[in-house]
Every structure is written in structure tokens, then in C-alpha cells.
Structure 1
């Protein structure tokens, strides 16, 4: 093992996010830290080192960073590109800028493309480049999407302009790095910051030059066309998080401890104590939800990409209630919600039992034999529908757009909602149920896999 420096990767699986610690000579620098800073404090204590710096490769859209909190707590300097226009105390870190950590150095490369202010960070030791921390510029098997800054309030840039910049950043800034340079991205497979990432959590520049589509020989026009095609949807919270990261978020623990806890719900609980026009995010398993739930509830289950779907359905600054099966799950969920900066929107959080709903379940035999007797709503993403249409008569409304487009759904027939495996259809059917009161709405659930 190299005794002069240490690289530690931290993974947040639900958000497919990677943060990094670089340790050398009793000092530690963090790159793109997640909202909860405690794991980094614990690691610094374990290594008996001092956190002296935090690097932000860009203002992140898909999660809230703890860079400001870490700086205020430890005295570490925050480094980011001057192009960010960061509103927190920081040190500009752009082309030609370097910082020393023990016996190694970090140097900045401006790599616009995913955002106009993106940088990549090269680790240099003993006169050679060892690794590059690529943020959302270069992923394993892909590169960052260029279309997230068109809705980021004042920090906007067109996707076409950024796609062209990405073409040149990859070729002029990253491809000249030696083949043995290690590649450490900010995200892995499952992120919405790219469209075709590998399951691998690291690579080398040599391997990426051979296999990554975005580094292959092509014209700028061909690259732009391929990069802009079939990008995933953009969750509602992305622009909000860009602005929040540019400003710097409040302390993590203060945010989650400030969430109001309502008294435990029981059979005698008066549901009218909840404000009728505030959405309830019910995170229990779908079978429990279907059996009984309060009105105005959306069933986003605790498993899966909970925070991504919450931030895709609930608008920034929109109030909501949160409920779960247990207190421990409730605590976990509040922490996960804080990762996207939505903790201040929780009107109240509670656990308990429910007895206000009459369950209704789809007759699968009848549905299979008489599909035209139902209005079928396909809530999968556009790319999924393009690849395979499950029901010929289905109306396609992506889940992320469903709350805004539910009035487009015909109501003359019973409504059946499906996705690819059942997780999203539980969300979708509950959204439609709220908006089309009195109509028959069914969730096809996991049964979709039989069609």
C-alpha cells in the first residue's frame, strides 16, 4: 500500500453518489462530500488527520453538499471554480491552481460541459499524475449530461452550448492524461446525471479511452447529437439543489432535528388534525398502503430511489407530511430527505395505523382477457417505452409529470397504472387516486412482469 497518500471512496447507494477523501502528511481533503458530514469526521479521526480542504467540482443538482458545514466546523478551506459565483467563503480553484496535501498535490482542470463551472481535480505525486477526480464530467462508460442548467434559476446555460463544451473538455483536458491515471467519478450507475454509466466505481484513463463512447473519435456534431439523445427526465429538485449548493446548506443535524414530530397515530387519531391540502408521503409497503391510508396520500415506498422520486414529484418549497411504519424508519427517511434539501418542507412526521380506506384490487383474470375495457396508463420513462411497449393501447405519461398531467386521463373506464416492476406504479396509482376521487384506479404492480 502507498504510505505517502491514501484515497478513500464513500458511496451513497440510493443517489449513486461517490465522495472522496485524500490523505497525506497528516492532512485530509474531501471532494464532493454528501450532506451528512459525520462519516468524514469519523474517517479523519480514524486516520488521525486534520481536514484542511473541501473541493466542490461544481454546484451539484442531485444532492446537497456539506462543504459549508465542514468548513465552518473544521476551519477547512472550500475550493471551487471562480465561475461558480459561490456565495459562501471559498478559494478559487481553476486551471493552473494547485494545493499541497502532505507529499502530494491537487491541481484543477476547468472542464465545462455538464455545467459551465465544472472542474476536474488531478492528484499528482512524485512528479506524475496518479488519479483524476472527474466530478460529473467523465463517468465510467459515459459523460455528464449537459441539460441541467437550463432551469437552474440564474445559473443557466443552454444544453447545446454545454454539449459542445463537453466535447472539447473531454478531448483537450482529460484525454491527454496518461493511460494509467485512475478515474474516480462523482456518480455511478443509477444516477440521473448521466444515461449509460457502468456499475464500476473506478477505472483508468486507458480503459475509458478504449470503451467509453464519449471518448471515441467523432465530429463535434456527432458527439452533440448522441449526448443530447435519450437523456433521462430532470427531477423537480435539481435546479433547487444547484442554487442551494451555490449558497451553502445549513447544518445537517440542525435540519433533521427541526422536523416536527406529530403524536403517534392510532385508531382514535383525528385525521382532520392534518391540513387537508397538504400531501402525505406514505412510505409503507404498497400492500399496507392499499389496505388503508389517509386521503391525499402518495405511496413512495422506503425502498428504491426514495429521495429521487420524492424530489421528482414534490416541488421545491412545497409542504408535505411524512409517515412510516416505525420510528427508526421515520428517522432514516428524514435523513434521506435532507440529502436533497427538502427537510424544511416536512410539515410533520408520524407513525401509526390507518383505517380510513376501502381497499380495491385489480381482477387480473378479467384484465388479461378484456384489456380494452380499461384505460391503461404507462408511467415509465420515454426511453423505456421506446425500447418496449407493453400494452398497445396504453397512454404514456411519465411518472415525473403525472401530478401535472393527471387531468389528461380519460375517466370513462376503470384505470390501470403500470411501470416496469411495480415500485413506480404504486406511486402513480396513488397520485391518480388523489386527483380523480370516486374513479376506479388500480395498480398493476409486479403483475406487469407477466405481460
Structure 2
């Protein structure tokens, strides 16, 4: 049986495509559906079903557009209550895709409608399981997301459901089955996912902490809930979009890719209160940018950081983009529900600069410049915007940790009356932080190019860095 995994690294997301005898099915598609349609055309196949494992939180699924464009039937598992036409399957129901079979296994826990799909080949042999966010490689789905939509679904209740789903529905299945999860390392839907994107169920039973055979329900709940960080604010909004429906991507692309002159761009920003998002490389942004714009570079985990830093998916957005990448930017925004893009600056930042309008810069320094400037004295305050787990592993002595996704809640802790340095791991996140601070009126700081990765390699005026684990 051939199962094609279509992996999108910036979201750590996996969709799946199967085809047999001219019939195809897609599982958990992304927002832009043309690649799936093109894939089916290569096989001269008709997309018969769009299977959804659950109402996703970290991205907006493409199931509605795929249904409209192909006539495919949308399938959810038990307990799903979408606001649009879909087939709500029963536990154990079997669907036919050519000579293949897809069997519904209801596995509540991550959410109450969460469903695993058992794939059965043309010889009636079980091949694998498409697990959605029920079972990852090395982890299982976090049980705290649904409570942000339905308040009485506590994380403890969902974790208990997940314990039963894993023990009673997943673990009894044969060891040879291939596990096809919805996400890999880097997704916020779990806490310790592997970089591997498939594995056998048997191996997962051996190495996945959540599948230990001797684990009690109480131990499972405690281990699953320990170490969970707050989910990004856009997650509940994406869930509602997936439940209630959304605007066609074709309309969003038409609106979002409108080219605007510098004058029209400025007028639109003033009239709509739109956020000006600059998606260029951090180094280019630092040299010059439109006042009050925010830098989130396309060449990084763009969609995830937009979701972390912009709380409302309905926020109007105007884009400053490297010419030629406009469709990419709008598409990647739409994947996480940011559909209100109003256009982009035609010709990019050069157009703004040539118009004679105000331009701002922000300071970046290399590690060598830090050593040269402060080599005879103490470093100023250093703010580390990496995740707490990164900071706990290694950090500069006396550095203050304010994770980027928490910076807006800790502005009062950042001095205005004395200089400071910012850094992340490599310079991507620290420039996001720099642009936010510039927007809020801070000016007496510098961002360290290369971040902690280069800081570790260079002798500094005081003890280089500390790895807390070595002090135990």
C-alpha cells in the first residue's frame, strides 16, 4: 500500500494522500488545496474523501475548499459538530478508496472528536494508522486545547480519555503498523515529538513514554500534563474556523496580493489601523524599515511566530515583502487563519525609501563588536528571548530570560533608561523582539547577530556561559 506523506516543515505538519483504482483520499489537508488536486490528476484519479482527524488548532484545514473544487465528501469522526455539510462517521465504520479500506477508530483525548484512521491494503491486510494528534512519534497529543473552546472539557478529563483511547484502541493493534502522525518536532501540539515523521507502532510501544504498558491512569495524566506550556493565542480561533467554516482561499489571495504604491500603502495603514508586517531577512530589516512595522521573516517559522505574536487572526495586515514572494506570504498567513491581508507594498521597501518617507533603523552588533565595545568592562544587561527550556540548558551568566512569545507581558521589566543587549539562538527571534520594542518606543539597545550560537564560541568579558546541568 502506498501512502504519500506531504510534509510542510514551517508548520511541522503532515497531510496524507492515498490512491487506488482511480479513487483518492486526502487526510488533514493544508489550506492551499491545489497541490492535492494536481497530485490526483497525475494519477488520473478523483478525490473521493477528505478525512479529518479532528478540528485542528494550529492550522486552518483545506477541507472546505477541497470539497468545493472536487466534490469530495468531508469525513469527521464521532462527536464532531461542524457548521457545514460533512459525513460524521461512526466508530468502526469502513470507507472504500478503490481497493483500499479506511476504518474509523474513535480515539478521544486530544479532542473529543479525535479519530484515528486504520489503513487496510488491497489484500485486506492492515498497513498503518493515520493518528492525527492522538499519537505522535515520541509523544501524544496535548489534552489542554479543547478546554479553550469548551470550558468544561478540563485537561484532566481529556487526558483520562486519551489514556483509554491509547490503551483500548491503539496499543492492541499489531506492532507492524506504520504510525502516520499529523505533526513532527517543532509543533506546539505536543511537548517532546521526535524529528522522525513515521515509525512502527511496535517501536513506539517500546520508546514512547506515554505507551508504557505498566503505566497507571494517574501516572499517565501526571506525566502528560507536566511541562505543558501555554498554547499560542491563535489556537482557539483556528479551532472555531475549522468548525464554523471560512472564506475561500481564492478570495483571500486576490485581496492580499493587491500591489500598493507607497502613498496608497500609507493611506491604507492610517485608515484601517492595519499592522505593517515586514517579512524580509533580519539583517535587511535592521538597515531600514517603515516606522512601527514588525519584522517576522519568511525564511523561518513564519506562520508559527505570526500566531504567537499577533493575538487576533482578524487583524488587518499590510505586507512589506521581498518582490516575488507575495503569494507565498499570503498563503502562509492563511494557513494559520490570518486572512485579513489588505495588500503589499509594490516594489518592496525600496519603493518606500525612494518616496522620501520616514525610515527607521535598529542596531545589530556582532559578537566581536560586543567584545570590542565591552572588553574592558562589564557587559550591560543581556535579555535572552529564547524559550525557557533553551535558557535552562545553557545561558550567559546574569542574562535575563524573557521568551519572545511572552515579551508583551514583560515590557515593564525592560529598562528604558540604560542600554541592553538582546539575543536568541541565531538572530531570527531577537529581531522580532527588536521590532516590537522599537514599535513601543525603546531605542537604547542592540541585537546580537548570530545569537547564542556564536556567543558560546567567543570569550566574553565575564564567564562565557553556564550549563545548569553541570552544577548538579
Q: Residue 305 of structure 1 corresponds to which residue in structure 2?
A: 301
Give the one of 179, 196, 203 matched to 1:207: 203
Structure 2 residue runs of 5 or longer lacking an equivalent are 354-358, 457-472
Is 1:378 aligned to 2:384, yes or no? yes
* TM superposition shift of 1:403: 2.5
Superposed CA RMSD:
2.2
How big is each residue's C-alpha offset from its partner over 1:84-115, in whole Å with a ceiling of 9 and x where there is no partner?
21111011123121112222211111111211
Is 1:263 the equivalent of 2:271?
no
Matched with 1:422 is: 427
1:275 corresponds, among 270, 275, 281, to: 270
Q: Shift of residue 128 of structure 1?
A: 3.2
Q: 1:238 aligns with which of 235, 239, 242?
A: 235
Change (3 A) 1:83 1:283: same
The 5-angstrom pairing of residues 35-50 of structure 1 reads 35-50=31-46
Shift of 1:66: 1.1
Structure 1 match to 2:83: 87
Match of 1:357 among 323, 336, 360: 360
Tell me the SS of whatever aligns to 2:116: strand
Shift of 1:184: 0.8
Q: How far apart, CA to CA, are the structure 2 residues paired with 1:120 and 1:132?
A: 7
Aligned pairs for 1:144-223 (under 5 A) are: 144-152=141-149, 154=150, 157-216=153-212, 217-223=214-220
Is the 1:433–1:441 contact (alpha carbons within 8 Å) kept by the matching residues of 2? no
Change (3 A) 1:242 1:370: farther
Q: Does the 8 A contact of 2:119 with 2:126 survive in 1?
A: yes
Contact 2:257/2:326, CA 8 A, preserved across alignment: no
The offset of 1:385, in angstroms, is: 2.3
Q: State the alpha-carbon separation in 1 of the partners of residues 79 and 52 from structure 2.
A: 12
Residue 18 of structure 1 and its aligned partner are, at CA, apart by 0.8
Tell me what 1:22 maps to: 18
The alignment's TM-score, normalised by the length of structure 2, stands at 0.87
Partner deviation per Cα, 1:99-156 (whole Å, 9 max, x = no partner): 122222111111112112100000124443221100011111111111222323x476
| Deviation (angstroms), 1:27 | 1.0
Please name the residue that 1:400 is paired with.
405
Helix, strand or coil at the partner of 1:20? strand
Q: How many residues align?
A: 439
Determine the C-alpha separation between the residues in 2 that align with 1:448 and 1:35: 35
8 Å CA contact 1:141–1:208 kept in 2: the answer is yes
Shift of 1:224: 1.7
When normalised by structure 1's length, the TM-score is 0.91
CA distance in 2, matches of 1:181, 1:66: 27
- 1:409 aligned onto 2:414: yes
Cα 1:192/1:425, change in 2 over 3 Å: same
C-alpha displacement of 1:28:
1.0
Query: Which of these residues, 206, 224, 229, is aligned with residue 227 of structure 1?
Result: 224
Q: Are residue 442 (structure 1) and residue 446 (structure 2) matched?
A: yes
Shift of 1:445: 3.0
- Name the CA shift for 1:57/1:371 in 2 (closer, same or farther; >3 Å): farther
Using a 3 Å threshold, how does the CA distance of structure 1 residues 127 and 419 change in structure 2: closer, same or farther? same
Verify the 8 A CA contact 1:94 1:119 in the aligned structure 2.
no
Given the superposition, is the C-alpha separation of residues 359 and 104 from structure 1 closer, same or farther in structure 2, using an over 3 Å criterion? closer
**Aligned residue number for residue 348 of structure 1:** 343
